[in-house]
Each structure stands twice: as C-alpha cells, then as structure tokens.
Amino acid sequence: MTLLEGKIRPATADDTDALYQICLKTADAGKDASDLYADPHYPGTRFAVPYALFAPDFAFVLEKAGKVIGYVVATPDTVAFEQQLLKEWWPLQVERFADRQPVKPLDSKILDAIRQPETAPETLTRRYPAHLHINILPEGQRGGWGKRLIEHELAALKAAGVSGVYLGISLQNEGVACFYQKLGFQPLFRSNAIYMGQDLN
C-alpha cells in the first residue's frame, strides 16, 4: 500500500496536533465542532491525546498523502488507565485550564470532565476491560478506512490478551451503530451514550 493510497501506522509525538485537530473536527457527532468549543484543544484533551501518551501501543493514525486524517486509540485496561490519568493527566489539565469558564455550547462538558473525571462502571469494565475511540476526517471516511482502523486496533488488543472491548456512540450519531455491529460489536445499554461491546477471546 503506497503513501498516496494511505497507511495505518503507530501514532508518535509529532501527531499530537493532528489528534487535537481531528478530534475537534469530528466532535459534533462526527461533524465539525469548531463553533462549539472556545478552545480547539478541549475535545482532544479528553478523547484522544491522553491515549497516545499513556497507551501508545494502542494509538494508531491514518495517514494519506503525508497528512494524518484519522486515528484510533484505545486502552487495554480502562480501570488502570483512569487511575493513571487521575494521577498524571487531569491535575495538569486542571492547572492548564484553571481560569477557564464555559463560553461556547460544549465547553462545560469538557471542563467538568477535567475537573471531575468520570469513571466507567464496573458492570461494563468487568467483561469489557478495554475501550477505544475512533475519528476520521471526511476525506478519509470512504474506502473502508474506518473498518481497517478498527480491525487494526482489535488485532492489537487481542495480541495483548485483552478479553473484551467497548465503545460509546453519541446519542446524536446512532446511525453508525450498524457499522460497528458489522464489525462484531453488540449493543449493551444507553445512558449518556450508546454503548457497544465485543468479546475478544
């Protein structure tokens, strides 16, 4: 597969800006959320960059024509990952955004999550210890790249001996659930998102 056609590769420190940008451009249920956040780093601070930093073996990017246009990130152990972020990531972000107040429509969701991080329920992590996030810019959303990114991530998790993985879908983006079902994910429950899981044994 040539660079022009595209390739999936491990994320590096040089991809950090791209992770922030892609996360922002897809944070509105898959659409551009630039007008919904006062700081373009907000969504990536929560949903992308910490995975590349603290679970680098499970962070991959899609590169096409020399540009990073998508990513899939995961942690093989959600509980341990959340504990690590509580110690090593969220305190830095609390300091970084200490004087910030919500300005745009979705600012409070990120600022609240930074200041009072959520944890996944044990009923979810017991069977599905891993979780993942995937986002692709519009120019990469054709040609089967979403499927390839997910399959690449699932292979990495299986190789690490992970027994199960889950993901959450925005309630405003329910239509993509059928895409994940075709890849082996099954609906679990709905709350603040639509949760789907897959056994990897």
Model pLDDT, residue 5:
80
CA atoms in the 13 A half-sphere facing the CB of 30: 15
Q: How far apart are CA 142 and CA 69, in angstroms?
A: 12
Token output for 103: 């300005």
What pLDDT is stored for residue 81 in this prediction?
98
Instruction: Name the residue with tokens 């992590």.
Output: 125
Strand pairing of 59-64 and 67-75? antiparallel
**pLDDT given for residue 141 in this prediction:** 85
Model pLDDT, residue 164:
98
Dihedral pair phi/psi, residue 24, rounded to 5°: -65, -45
pLDDT at 197: 98
At residue 181, the 3 state secondary structure works out as helix
The pLDDT of residue 52 is 98
**What's residue 39's pLDDT?**
98
pTM of the predicted structure, to 2 decimals: 0.94
Cα-only R_g, the chain: 16
The pLDDT averaged over each successive group of 10 residues in the chain (201 residues) is 73 98 95 97 98 98 96 98 98 98 97 96 96 95 92 98 97 92 96 95 87
Cα 196 to Cα 11, 50, 165, 191: the distances in Å are 25, 22, 9, 12
pLDDT at position 12: 98
